[in-house]
Structure formats: structure tokens, C-alpha cells
């Protein structure tokens, strides 16, 4: 079975907080573009470089032969349209080479640390802007919710699918997903997304920048696969969505 791993799993394996003996025989740990991108832009490379290096080394050691290098919405497009072409190296060669160098023992040079810190902050600011947009939209919706239970029961999935399609179209510079796209292949993501938005709209939760990495990781988890995370927040959301069967470690 393929196990899609959250970035915190690589940190925990690297530090020894997770004993590798808990991994079941025959299970393949899979890293994704999300983790590689996150490692390439994390302030932990400055604040705790040794721990981060060990995490990256674990990521490569466990999953280099079956990693998913496409960004999440690109991954969806390829699964939907086998003719869609995407060159991983031309688009992501810098972060692939950078994380490989870190794994081999290289560090960020002192003369480059300010530049890297700016890269980290810029990335955080971009994710924060997207989080702010959705949080502000939720603040508009919240006063109009008169019955929380009724609101949570409402079927927002069709509207969410339109939003998802916009994301795919924007990233792929195409019309997005075809009308016959098999949404059952992403049931974990879209059911968890519904609960996530409900929590935000009712004021039970506020979106933070790193949520996008955690949320979009679920895009890679098709039926027959599982997701491995130790983030209590996301385990709760997945369970609340009735999708706990997808959790590798409950």
C-alpha cells in the first residue's frame, strides 16, 4: 500500500520520534511535491538545520523511487487527461537540486542567509494573503448562519468543485478538469475540504498559511492509498468528514 506522508512524518522519522518499525511490511512511504517544496522554503533550514537535514534524508531514503513530483492540481490534471504534458525538471529543478544538496550535507552559506530568509518570508506572506482572503470571506458568511447544524448539512460540494476547477485551470493554463472527471478518486480531499470550510465559516477555526500544504496533500490520496500525518487538527477534520479509513495511523 502507498502511504502519502505529511512533512511532519519525515521530521519525526528523522528525529527518531517515530520508530521505523511501526511501518507495516510492504507499505511504501511516498513523498510529494508539497513536502519537497516545503523543505526548500522552510526557516528550519536556518533555525534547526541538522534536524531538517535528517528529515530530508529520510524523505529521500524512504521514497525516492516512488515520489510524486507534480504539484497537487497538476497531478489532478494529469490523472484526468493523459495527453497533458508537464515537464517536472524545467519547472522544479532548483528545489529538487537544492533539497538534494541539503541531504548530502550542504548548508546555506552565511552570505546567502538573508536572501534565503527573505524567500521564506515572501512565501509565508503569499500563503497568508490567500488565508486572509478566505478568512475574510468566512466573516461575511458567519453572521448569516442561523442554524449551525443545518449549515453543516448543506451540500457545498458542487460549489467547492467549481472552485477546485478554477484552481486547476489557473495552474495548468487550460479549461481545468473535464466534465467526466471521476470525483470519487478524490473523495478524501473534497469531503475534508467541505468540513474545513464549514469550520472556518462557523468561526470554529481560522485558516493559517501552513494549512494549504496540509489540505492539498490530501489531493494525492486516492482510494487504496492512505495518508500519514500526526497533525491533530487534520486527523480531526478527516475523521469529522467520515474519511478516517484513509488515515494510516488513527
Q: What is the radius of gyration, based on Cα positions, of the chain? A: 19
Bridge partners of residue 4, in order along the sequence: 30, 227
Instruction: State residue 90 phi and psi, 5-degree precision.
Output: -70, -25
**Interval 22-68: pLDDT, tens:** 888 889 999 999 999 999 999 999 999 999 999 999 999 998 778 99
Beta bridge partners of 68: 32
pLDDT at 250 over 60: no
Percent of the chain with pLDDT over 90: 69
Do 67 and 32 form a contact (C-beta atoms < 8 A)? yes
Give the three cell numbers for residue 219. Answer: 489531493
pLDDT band at 148 (very low <50, low <70, confident <90, very high): low
53, 167, 164: which is closest to 103 by C-alpha? Answer: 53
User: In angstroms, rounded to a whole number, what is the distance separating the alpha carbons of residues 72 and 36?
Assistant: 12
Distance CA 202, CA 147 (A): 10
Cell numbers describing residue 124: 509565508
Nine-digit cell string for 44 = 528550519
Give the C-alpha separation, 188 to 182, whole Å: 13
| Whether residue 150 has pLDDT greater than 90 | no
Give one DSSP letter per residue of 18-35, joined into a string: S-GGGSPTT-EEE-BHHH
Other Cβ atoms within 10 Å of 127 Cβ, number: 18
The pTM is what?
Answer: 0.90
Confidence of residue 149 (pLDDT cuts 50, 70, 90): low
Confidence class for position 143, pLDDT limits 50, 70, 90: confident
Amino acid at each position: 500500500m502507498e502511504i502519502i506522508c505529511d512533512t511532519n512524518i519525515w521530521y519525526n522519522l528523522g528525529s527518531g520520534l517515530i520508530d521505523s518499525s511501526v511501518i507495516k511490511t510492504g507499505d511504501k512511504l511516498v513523498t510529494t511535491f508539497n513536502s519537497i517544496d516545503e523543505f526548500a522554503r522552510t526557516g528550519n533550514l536556518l533555525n534547526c538545520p541538522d534536524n531538517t537535514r535528517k528529515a530530508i534524508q529520510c524523505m529521500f531514503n524512504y521514497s525516492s523511487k516512488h515520489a510524486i513530483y507534480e504539484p497537487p492540481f497538476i497531478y489532478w490534471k494529469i490523472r484526468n487527461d493523459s495527453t497533458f504534458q508537464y515537464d517536472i525538471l524545467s519547472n522544479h529543478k532548483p528545489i529538487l537540486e537544492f533539497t538534494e544538496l541539503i541531504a548530502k550535507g550542504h548548508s546555506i552559506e552565511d552570505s546567502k542567509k538573508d536572501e534565503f530568509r527573505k524567500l521564506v518570508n515572501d512565501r509565508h506572506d503569499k500563503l497568508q494573503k490567500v488565508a486572509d482572503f478566505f478568512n475574510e470571506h468566512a466573516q461575511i458568511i458567519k453572521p448569516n448562519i442561523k442554524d449551525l447544524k443545518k449549515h453543516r448539512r448543506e451540500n457545498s460540494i458542487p460549489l467547492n468543485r467549481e472552485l477546485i476547477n478554477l484552481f486547476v485551470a489557473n495552474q495548468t493554463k487550460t479549461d481545468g478538469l473535464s466534465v467526466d472527471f471521476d470525483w470519487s478518486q478524490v473523495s478524501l480531499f473534497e469531503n475534508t475540504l467541505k468540513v474545513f470550510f464549514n469550520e472556518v465559516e462557523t468561526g470554529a477555526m481560522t485558516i493559517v498559511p501552513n494549512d494549504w500544504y496540509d489540505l492539498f496533500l490530501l489531493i494525492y490520496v486516492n482510494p487504496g492509498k492512505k495518508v500519514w500525518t500526526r497533525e491533530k487538527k487534520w486527523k480531526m477534520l478527516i475523521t469529522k468528514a467520515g474519511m478516517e479509513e484513509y488515515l494510516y495511523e488513527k
